[in-house]
Structure 1
Amino acid sequence: MEFTDADRRVRWLGRGLLFLGAAVVLVLLWPFYSVPTGSRGVVTQFGRIVGIEGEGLAVLPPWQKLHNFSIRAEKADIENAEGSTSDTQPVKVSMTVRYSIATDRVAEVFEKYSHDGDLSSYVQTATQEIFKAVTAKYTAPDLIAQRAKVSADINAALREKLSLYGAQVINIDMRNFAFSESYMHAINDKVTQEQLRLAAENKLRTVEAEQKQKVAVAEAEANARKAEADGEAYASLAIAKAQAEALRVQNAALAQNKDVLELRRIEVEKVKAEKWNGALPQAIYAGAPVPFLNVSK
């Protein structure tokens, strides 16, 4: 049986329609899906969440739909967040908050807040509120002096606030506080005055230290002179006591033996006689001693 060209065209057309229909059915009924790294697959059925798929291959029936939901770290920039200190000084700050969605709350966040894991608008609003609440507890000077504590308070309050939205804070990058221009001038003037005061106190302490050093040196010299004088006086007293004691001992000896004095006189006369050369003095005055003559020799 031979086919005409018309028959062949009909057959090819039928085959084409068959392949096309199969392709359409395959596309409509394709059961294979993939969940990329750093995401979760939210499975919905007629708009209702029926499951969460992890990273990798997901096989779903055609009446279910897969939504890729990011759990990667995201960031929200808050520029010029405004607040007011307890002493009514306006203050601004810029911050960057990095956060991510808690993996066990993906379904809740998808249902209530975001279909893709982006909560930047919620984070910005919450950060503004927290900044106002925290800065209202501090005076302007304390806000500057206790920056680390202020940052910790904001961090703690923001963690608690964002947990309501199923988000967890990774870190907060907070830039410098900005006050009004007039207040910044006042702070600079105060800092300058404080520096001058500290310099004056340091100079005063230096002068006082120098004066104390001079007094200490003078006292040391006076004590040295006093010690030297005391030593000399003590030595003189000791010598005087020794001389007095010697005289006392000598007088006591003389009092006990009167012949000692006569013996000493004889010894003196003997020495004079031994030294006499036999010549008489040229002039003898009344009462003058006459040399002793030893006639026995």
Structure 2
Amino acid sequence: MKWIISTSLILLAALIVLLNSFSTVQYGNVGLYKTFGKLSDKVLEPGVHLRVPFIQTIIQVNTQVAKAESDTSASSKDLQPVSTHVAVNYSIDKASAYNLMNNIGGAYDNIIIAPAIQEIVKEVTAKYAAEDLIAKRDLVAMEIQDLLTKRLARYNLNVNDINIVNFKFSDAFNQSIEAKQVAQQQALKAENDLKRVQIEAQQKVAQAQAEAESLKLKKQEVTPELVQLKQIEVQEKALEKWDGRLPTVTGGATPFIDVDSLTK
């Protein structure tokens, strides 16, 4: 019985040692050996790795793209208070994971990234007037990204992308912007109305000129012969309608029908 118990304990201890002799580095991470609190500069790729049981551990460093968000309060160039919400996508250089963890530690996002975002956003915001921060949003984001990339490169951190999620201004500034937009819309409407009136006036002038030209051409076509021909046409139509009876009352010396013109 004692032999069985001893053997079981030995096997159990061996099993525990065996299980603690392997460690897995997950996908999207790299591993670093930590022996009695000291880091090794050997970077382990994802997979299963041997380690000394109870003496060595493997810490994992995430090398996938991560996101850091920050709210920054600052003043614009024209001294307007601005609150900026920024989201930064970053990643760790695999080959430099040891330097980062050994010199900064696992809280690098709070120690390095957050303060850098705060400082750079304030610096860039102060270069632009409040309205330009809105109108030139892409340019502002690009400048922040360039400065942040240079800053974090010192710690082997890569800036993949940056997004200005929101600019928040004071209520007074928002009201002034709204009033300005309304004024611009009204001015644009007035300008469009003026152009419409001018176009309508030009159309009327063109129409009047066309009518006058047409009348002028018609007057040029009227000749004494044309007038005489028209008179004959009228008299012929009247003769066609005449019932053969002469009017009982006549006035003036002009006959009802000009017989001479008809005979001609």
Q: Partner of 2:239 in structure 1?
A: none
Residue of structure 2 aligned with 1:92, choices 83, 86, 95 = 83
Q: Partner of 1:192 in structure 2?
A: 182
Instruction: For 1:166 and 1:231, locate their aligned partners in 2 and report how far apart those are by CA, in whole Å.
Output: 94
State the structure with bigger RCO (CA 8 A, min sep 6), 1 or 2. 2
Q: Partner of 2:152 in structure 1?
A: 162
Greater shift, 48-57 or 223-232, is seen at: 223-232
SS at match of 1:176: strand
Residue of structure 1 aligned with 2:6, choices 1, 16, 23 = 16
Q: Partner of 2:253 in structure 1?
A: none
Cα 1:227–1:114 change in 2 (3 A) is farther
* Residue 69 (structure 1) aligned with residue 61 (structure 2): yes
1:89 is aligned with what amino acid? Q
Question: Normalising by structure 2, what TM-score?
Answer: 0.73
Structure 2 residues without counterparts, runs of 5 or longer: 227-264
In the TM superposition, what is the alpha-carbon distance from 1:52 to its structure 2 partner?
0.9
Aligned counterparts, 1:199-278, within 5 A? 199-232=189-222
Question: Normalising by structure 1, what TM-score?
Answer: 0.65
In the TM superposition, what is the alpha-carbon distance from 1:41 to its structure 2 partner?
0.8
Residue of structure 1 aligned with 2:162, choices 160, 172, 175 = 172
Instruction: For 1:19 and 1:160, locate their aligned partners in 2 and report how far apart those are by CA, in whole Å.
Output: 58
SS at match of 1:119: helix
Residue of structure 1 aligned with 2:101, choices 110, 118, 134 = 110
SS at match of 1:49: strand
In the TM superposition, what is the alpha-carbon distance from 1:130 to its structure 2 partner?
1.6
Instruction: For 2:205 and 2:115, locate their aligned partners in 1 and report how far apart those are by CA, in whole Å.
Output: 68
SS at match of 2:166: coil
Which structure would you say has the larger Rg? 1
Residue of structure 1 aligned with 2:17, choices 12, 19, 27 = 27
Q: Partner of 1:101 in structure 2?
A: 92
Native 8 Å contact 1:93 1:178 kept in 2: yes
Cα 1:121–1:223 change in 2 (3 A) is farther
Q: Partner of 1:60 in structure 2?
A: 51
Instruction: For 1:25 and 1:224, locate their aligned partners in 2 and report how far apart those are by CA, in whole Å.
Output: 114
Greater shift, 11-20 or 219-228, is seen at: 11-20
SS at match of 1:175: strand
In the TM superposition, what is the alpha-carbon distance from 1:193 to its structure 2 partner?
0.9
Deviations along 1:213-250, one digit per CA (max 9) or x if unpaired, are 111111122222233334558x99xxxxxxxxxxxxxx
1:124 is aligned with what amino acid? A
* Residue 43 (structure 1) aligned with residue 14 (structure 2): no
Instruction: For 1:148 and 1:187, locate their aligned partners in 2 and report how far apart those are by CA, in whole Å.
Output: 20
Instruction: For 2:121 and 2:97, locate their aligned partners in 1 and report how far apart those are by CA, in whole Å.
Output: 27
Native 8 Å contact 2:76 2:126 kept in 1: yes
Instruction: For 2:176 and 2:136, locate their aligned partners in 1 and report how far apart those are by CA, in whole Å.
Output: 19
Structure 1 residues without counterparts, runs of 5 or longer: 1-10, 237-297
* Residue 123 (structure 1) aligned with residue 113 (structure 2): yes
1:152 is aligned with what amino acid? M
Q: What's the % identity of the aligned pairs?
A: 31
Native 8 Å contact 1:44 1:50 kept in 2: no
Native 8 Å contact 1:44 1:51 kept in 2: no
Instruction: For 1:175 and 1:232, locate their aligned partners in 2 and report how far apart those are by CA, in whole Å.
Output: 79
Residue of structure 1 aligned with 2:125, choices 126, 135, 138 = 135
SS at match of 1:72: coil
Instruction: For 1:127 and 1:17, locate their aligned partners in 2 and report how far apart those are by CA, in whole Å.
Output: 60
SS at match of 2:79: coil
Instruction: For 1:231 and 1:156, locate their aligned partners in 2 and report how far apart those are by CA, in whole Å.
Output: 81
Q: Across the two proteins, how many residue pairs are aligned to each other?
A: 223
4+ runs deviating over 4 angstroms: 61-64, 230-233
